[in-house]
Structure 1
Amino acid sequence: MNLSVTANLSSVHIHWTPTDTTPTPGGTMAYANMTDDEYLLLKMGPRRKDMLSVVCLLVIYSFIFVTGIVGNVCTAIVIVRNRYMQTTTDYYLCSLAISDILILVSCLPFEAYSIWQAYPFSFGEIFCIGKALLTEMTSYASVLTITAFTVERYIAICHPLMSHKIADLRRSVIIIICIWTISFIIALPYPIHTRTLFYEYSPTTGKPLQQSLVCNIPPQWISEMTIMFQISTFLFFIVPMTAIIILYVLIAITLRRTALNRANSEESTGGHHSSHTRRVVRMLVAVVVAFFFCWAPFHTQRLYTIYHAKQWTPHEMEVQSHLFYISGVLYFVGSTVNPFLYNVMCKRYREAFKETLCCCFGHRKSKYQRSLIYYYNNMKSTVRSHSSPEDDKQPGQTDLNNSDSRNSKRDPNYSRTTKLLSNSVKAREARQNEQKVARAVTYADNEYHSENEDVKLLTYLPLNKAENVDTVVPAVKSNIHSPTCL
């Protein structure tokens, strides 16, 4: 059986459409007594699979669609409605949620429709071309966003001081815009080479059969698009997969080293940090495994269809058919698991999600906000403790100073002794305030398991007497994020 293969972009991955060219006794006369439906069944295969397979696939797709839309929409809403969630990391997560929503909305319903009715294509050529652009562009944007987010994680955990210097929301917005622009440009060849076309013609009249209309890459352009499939696989699977593995290995090594150092310096909490590190490493492995299993079948099916010889055996046809549907399901699963891998597993996100749900019942601050306010207020008290003595006067202190002044006139050594005692008291108060700030930072670090050093840097900010703490601390606080939340 000789089968020609075409690229069907009713979903993003390629689908073959068999054309039976086996010689038939009597030539075209053998088709003269066939109806159009019988002829198309012979040439293009059944319009839908058996009912059991159709129902199972539709149930799976419905579950993926609902779960993915709810998870990604909740992610976007939580980030938009909570200012303390609007960090550089969360900007990438919001972009990822948007790309996943567009993938699910623009592609999955029509993939499900093609399972119910493989042909004819009923949505027009403009929709066919637009869908080819949107599905490819959002797929590329999703992969590039995950890669950029991984790089941000690596910098935040392995190079925290550098992260503190370059962490800028404006820079993140520029990177996200570049990601979408690059995705749009690289996806352009797909809509340019995608058309609606009649796949079969009447064997008697030679006119196109209306029921054979499909949204395809025409056969004459398949050889040209082969280069694009190669570029797509290399740039949007092999390179990102390699980068993600390398960076997450470096992150795991850094977290392990940090946990060992803490275990040596803090024996009481060493077990806690060690168990947390193991959890984070497991989540890093889960991210890599999910990325591989969601995208590898997609690109494998594409290349398998393009490079396969034109002679298809029945067994190869069966393998290709199963690979087509498996790769389609896993492709959409990737857009569904992203909000769970990168957000739901993070306690900070869950706190923000609860706060968003309960906003209509009150404005009770979350634990994360309360911890920030706690060490923010302690930081202000620390700055005040280093201010001029006139700012620290308490009621009744004037009389004491007057008394000290009179006594100093009588005894010159009295003034020096008083100054030494005063400086000692102020130094002790400053140390106590610094300890309060350190305890608050430790609480926030233990509560949210953040390996990021941005919070700890607050303790060492060069706050002078003339510096406004109300502008310095919030500026740093806007860059606080928990890069190990997965």
Structure 2
Amino acid sequence: MAENITNERNFNLNQELDQTDLECLERFNQSLQYYNATRYLTAEETSKYGYTSGQIFSITVLLPLILTFGLLGNFCFIFVSVRVKYMHTVTNRYLVSLAIADIIFLVSAIGPKIWCYTKSPLHGDDSPLGAHGCVWTFFLSDTAYFASLAFTTLVSCDRYLAVCHPRNPRSCANFKLSSTQLIISTWILACVLAASLTPGNSQLVFYCYKWAPISPYDKWPSTIRYCLPSKTWMVSYALGLQTVPFFVSLILNFIFYLSIVRGLDGSIKRLSQKGSRMSHRDTRVRNQIAKMLVLNGVVFFCCLAPFEFISLFHMVASARNEYLIRNEKAKTYITLFARVLSYINACINPVIYTVMCDRYVQAFKYAFCSPISNACRNNNNTNSNTSAKELVHLQTLVE
């Protein structure tokens, strides 16, 4: 530890220390973390460490809206899936797990940014998180990320099997049991992968600055902390482990989507030859659900793609000891745009469900309307026989 500290310092210990150095050394001794000597900055250099107007708008307006909308939407979908009986399907089990992963991601990714903004005027300052916050914040967001990749792929695989290889109804109970085991295994694997990335953000490093002696910089704290890798090679490892599963999942889902489209085309041709009215209704329901899930997957990967490509290029650039984007302002806004897209991805799924599939709209209406409105209850009683038949029929279709 002492050797590392000595290597990090950029000033001569024999020179006289000013008050900023003494305060920084005192905090360093209390925290027992890596310490970097005081840097003296001009007003122009100091301004770069604060929040820009775009970042302030993002953290105070955009991100809270995304967080609120995402939490409400995903919690509503979970409530509907639990309350409405015909929503108890294998596909919806995966979608509920995906909604849980989205909730965890939104809270662990957006929450700390808002918290740090309220506690420190310095952009990127991880001091409010503390050493434990560095570990848990990234662990939860990484776990949710890996889980969302897996559950999106599982949903695509489930719809592929339903369209291209329909199951025997007698095997549904056994498949539900295996789907539960698969969901538990997915969460365990996501936690393991996320845990392997924790050294990439586990070191809380101290930096000391002496800001320009003008307002508002004279009121800024003299220290700033960053959650950094404990080893330099952890940067490339973390970027690689983040991007490789994304592209593997992207390829698998593309294959599933292509097979689903072909399977639906073949199913429509076969049923049109038979001319069965019930079969045409079955086809319509299956097509709606399959198209909804394919669109859900396409939006998922389109929203994550910008950030993943940035991570991929950054991994290549860091391996060559080069800079991906030299312009700091451009780098900030490009990264912000990619991150906002990933946040939107975590809250857009319930919107797709309700827009693309009538049955999900009916489920939402039934779940939120029936326990509150007498009119809804009367309407449900009037159409009870028809609704019961449709619920049973739908359950056989979506399984």
Give the number of the structure whose alpha-carbon radius of gyration is greater.
1
Letter in 1 for 2:312: L
Q: Is residue 230 from structure 1 mapped to residue 231 from structure 2 by the alignment?
A: no
SS in 2 for 1:480: helix
- Distance of aligned partners of 1:279 and 1:370 in 2 relative to their CA distance in 1, 3 Å threshold: same
- Distance of aligned partners of 1:120 and 1:361 in 2 relative to their CA distance in 1, 3 Å threshold: same
- Residue in structure 2 matched with residue 262 of structure 1 by the alignment: 271
Instruction: Identify which range, 348-357 or 305-314, moves more after superposition.
Output: 305-314
- Distance of aligned partners of 1:357 and 1:277 in 2 relative to their CA distance in 1, 3 Å threshold: closer
Q: Cα deviations across residues 5-41 of structure 1 (Å, max 9, x unaligned)?
A: xxxxxxxxxxxxxxxx9xxxxxxx9x99999796397
Q: Is residue 373 from structure 1 mapped to residue 289 from structure 2 by the alignment?
A: no
Letter in 1 for 2:388: I
From 125, 140, 144, give the equivalent of 1:138.
Answer: 144
Instruction: Give runs of aligned pairs for residues 64-463 of structure 1, distance below 5 A.
Output: 64-113=66-115, 117-121=122-126, 122-162=128-168, 165-166=171-172, 168-201=175-208, 211-218=223-230, 221-235=231-245, 237-266=246-275, 283=292, 286-308=295-317, 310=321, 312=323, 315-342=326-353, 345-358=356-369, 359-362=371-374, 363=377, 365=380, 370-371=385-386, 373-374=388-389, 444=390, 455=393
SS in 1 for 2:227: strand
Instruction: Supply the distance in 1 between the matched residues of 2:168 and 2:277 (Cα, whole angstroms).
Output: 30
- Distance of aligned partners of 1:355 and 1:224 in 2 relative to their CA distance in 1, 3 Å threshold: same
Aligned residues: 350
Q: Cα deviations across residues 116-151 of structure 1 (Å, max 9, x unaligned)?
A: 641432121112211111110011111101111111
Instruction: Supply the distance in 1 between the matched residues of 2:346 and 2:71 (Cα, whole angstroms).
Output: 9
Instruction: Supply the distance in 1 between the matched residues of 2:290 and 2:364 (Cα, whole angstroms).
Output: 24
From 379, 396, 399, give the equivalent of 1:480.
Answer: 396
SS in 2 for 1:161: coil
Task: Tell me, yes or no, if the aligned pair for 1:158 and 1:251 is still in contact at 8 Å.
Answer: yes
Instruction: Supply the distance in 2 between the matched residues of 1:272 and 1:338 (Cα, whole angstroms).
Output: 25
Instruction: Supply the distance in 2 between the matched residues of 1:313 and 1:225 (Cα, whole angstroms).
Output: 14
- Residue in structure 2 matched with residue 51 of structure 1 by the alignment: 53
- Give the unaligned 5+ runs of structure 1: 1-20, 22-28, 204-208, 375-443, 449-453, 456-476
Instruction: Supply the distance in 1 between the matched residues of 2:314 and 2:189 (Cα, whole angstroms).
Output: 26
SS in 2 for 1:76: helix
Instruction: Supply the distance in 2 between the matched residues of 1:93 and 1:41 (Cα, whole angstroms).
Output: 51
- Residue in structure 1 matched with residue 26 of structure 2 by the alignment: none
Task: Tell me, yes or no, if the aligned pair for 1:120 and 1:210 is still in contact at 8 Å.
Answer: no
Q: CA deviation at 1:96?
A: 0.9
Q: Cα deviations across residues 425-468 of structure 1 (Å, max 9, x unaligned)?
A: xxxxxxxxxxxxxxxxxxx4xxx9xxxxx95xxxxxxxxxxxxx
Task: Tell me, yes or no, if the aligned pair for 1:297 and 1:323 is still in contact at 8 Å.
Answer: no
Letter in 2 for 1:89: T
TM-score (norm 2): 0.74
Instruction: Supply the distance in 2 between the matched residues of 1:287 and 1:211 (Cα, whole angstroms).
Output: 44
Instruction: Supply the distance in 2 between the matched residues of 1:44 and 1:215 (Cα, whole angstroms).
Output: 21
Task: Tell me, yes or no, if the aligned pair for 1:295 and 1:330 is still in contact at 8 Å.
Answer: yes
Letter in 1 for 2:264: L
TM-score (norm 1): 0.62
SS in 2 for 1:160: coil
Q: CA deviation at 1:62?
A: 2.3
Task: Tell me, yes or no, if the aligned pair for 1:100 and 1:335 is still in contact at 8 Å.
Answer: yes
Percentage of pairs with the same residue: 22
Q: CA deviation at 1:303?
A: 2.8
Task: Tell me, yes or no, if the aligned pair for 1:125 and 1:196 is still in contact at 8 Å.
Answer: yes
Task: Tell me, yes or no, if the aligned pair for 1:147 and 1:240 is still in contact at 8 Å.
Answer: yes
Q: CA deviation at 1:278?
A: 7.9
- Distance of aligned partners of 1:352 and 1:293 in 2 relative to their CA distance in 1, 3 Å threshold: same
Letter in 1 for 2:242: S
Instruction: Supply the distance in 2 between the matched residues of 1:146 and 1:228 (Cα, whole angstroms).
Output: 22
- Residue in structure 2 matched with residue 440 of structure 1 by the alignment: none
Instruction: Supply the distance in 1 between the matched residues of 2:68 and 2:103 (Cα, whole angstroms).
Output: 11
Q: CA deviation at 1:360?
A: 2.6
